[in-house]
Amino acid sequence: MKRILFGASAAALLLATPGLAQSNAEVMRQLQAMQAQIEALKAEVDSAKAEAAAARTQSAAAETKVTAATAEGGALVSGGKTGVRVSLSGQVNRGVLFTDDGDSTDAFFVDNDNSSTRIRILGEADYDENTTIGTNIEVQFESNSTADVNQNSKRNVGNDNFTQRKLELYVDNKQLGRLTLGQGDTASNGTSEQDLSGTTVIGYSGVTDFAGGLFVRDSNTNALTGLTINKVTSNLDGLSRDDRIRYDTPKFSGFSLATSAVADDRYDVALFYGDRLGDVEVRGAVSYASASASGTANAFDIVNGSVSALHVPSGVSATFAAGTRDTDNQDNDTTFYYGKLGYQTNFFDFGKTAISADLYYGEEFVTADDETFSVGLQLVQNIKKVGAELYGGFRLYDYDDSATDYETLYGVMVGARVKF
């Protein structure tokens, strides 16, 4: 039986031999194809590895570049010129304003108009060792400005966009002075505001800025009048900011002159002083400004000035400002006087402390017989490490004329200004 089975198997094997040979050849072809595919995949893997390595190298190079740029000052852009300096700075100044107008008390979350929230970009390049060419873009963004909020509008008041402060270019020469063109300070702007008290963020001669939008209340009818603090106070600070051409002389023994011209026949001239006299730091300014009539406005002339002195060893300062505006076709000559006593010192290592008290008197802002009186207290604590100032202030406004009795208006503001 075994022999029969062996013989059958051998016969079957013999019969199957040609098919087996054919199958082996097919297997070989498949193996060769697979080998080719494996080699192709290997090549792709090698290529991917090379790309990954290149990407890692590129990433490391980029990281090194970012680190270096950040260490240099944070600028991650490249310029088309060399030797051009670009500087970015700004501030956020927010507070809470509490007011009492004689009948109602209110609380406002405000942008402090004493020094509004803003951003500034300066660009400068040296033409030669004496001449510098520069640009200055400074814009503010005030939400709920103290200049705008009032008893009837407490939220979402004011412009919901940037508004212009300075958009100007200049050429500055050490021997010849500076020529500036564009939107910015006229020569007389700031001449009522020389102040070395260190508390201007919460109070200065521009007493309007503390709560300018508030309406004054009629004592007899208890109704709000149409008079706001903006209308009944001013520090008559020349021609403010405008689109102008301005020239500033170099400083001579602490003195410098400036003049500017604006459209509508507006022009001004100002004299500035800033120097150290022994232990006393002094800054002062005086100006004359003239504006012809334009539109519905009457022509006017303004003469104004201010001086501030700081006794450096003691930290005691005194500031005085005054001005008058003569308006054509009006009987009233608007006038104001302002005085401030201040004290500042480094009580704490983290930043100086400044306190001050001021008085303001103005007359003939609306009628020929009106008077405005204001008194203020200011406290500012600097935190040097983070560029911050914490402040608190009080201000009283009292407006009178012969026709109506008005309530005295009180305000308290606390807040912080952080420079970045």
The residues of the shown chain that bind another protein, judged by CB under 8 A, are 72-75, 78-79, 81-91, 114-116, 118, 120, 122, 190, 193-198, 200-201, 204-206, 209, 276, 281, 310, 312-316, 343-347, 352, 384-389, 417-420
Looking up tokens 């570049």 gives: 65
| Shortest separation between residue 85's beta carbon and another protein, angstroms | 5
Contact yes or no for 350/385 (Cβ under 8 A): yes
Closer residue to another protein, CB minimum distance, 226 or 313? 313
- 318: which residues sit within 8 A by CB, 6+ positions away? 308, 309, 339, 340, 341, 342
| Shortest separation between residue 273's beta carbon and another protein, angstroms | 14
Closer residue to another protein, CB minimum distance, 122 or 269? 122
| Shortest separation between residue 343's beta carbon and another protein, angstroms | 6
| Shortest separation between residue 59's beta carbon and another protein, angstroms | 23
| Shortest separation between residue 205's beta carbon and another protein, angstroms | 7
- 312: which residues sit within 8 A by CB, 6+ positions away? 276, 279, 280, 281
CA distance linking residue 34 with residue 22, whole number of Å = 19
Look at strands 177-185 and 215-217 and give their pairing: unpaired
Per-residue three-class SS string for 72-94: HCCCCCCCCCCCEEEEEEEEEEE
Closer residue to another protein, CB minimum distance, 86 or 133? 86
Looking up tokens 């001579």 gives: 252
Closer residue to another protein, CB minimum distance, 189 or 334? 189
| Shortest separation between residue 46's beta carbon and another protein, angstroms | 42
CA distance linking residue 141 with residue 162, whole number of Å = 5
Contact yes or no for 361/337 (Cβ under 8 A): yes
Closer residue to another protein, CB minimum distance, 108 or 204? 204
| Shortest separation between residue 71's beta carbon and another protein, angstroms | 11
CA distance linking residue 379 with residue 95, whole number of Å = 14
Closer residue to another protein, CB minimum distance, 6 or 347? 347
Closer residue to another protein, CB minimum distance, 264 or 275? 275
Looking up tokens 């450096």 gives: 312
Tell how far CA 75 is from the center of its chain.
19
Closer residue to another protein, CB minimum distance, 7 or 79? 79
Closer residue to another protein, CB minimum distance, 66 or 107? 66
DSSP states of 312-336: TTTTEEEEEEEEEEEETT-S-EEEE
Tokens of 96: 């809470």
Closer residue to another protein, CB minimum distance, 237 or 401? 237
Closest CA to 146 of 228, 83, 78: 228
Closest CA to 304 of 284, 322, 328: 322
Q: Counting beta carbons within 10 angstroms of the beta carbon of residue 281, is it exposed (0 to 12), middle (13 to 18) or buried (19 or more)?
A: middle
| Shortest separation between residue 56's beta carbon and another protein, angstroms | 28
Q: From residue 347, how far is each of 103, 316, 329, 353 by CA, in Å?
A: 40, 14, 53, 7
| Shortest separation between residue 65's beta carbon and another protein, angstroms | 14
| Shortest separation between residue 70's beta carbon and another protein, angstroms | 10
Q: From residue 327, how far is each of 145, 240, 316 by CA, in Å?
A: 29, 17, 37
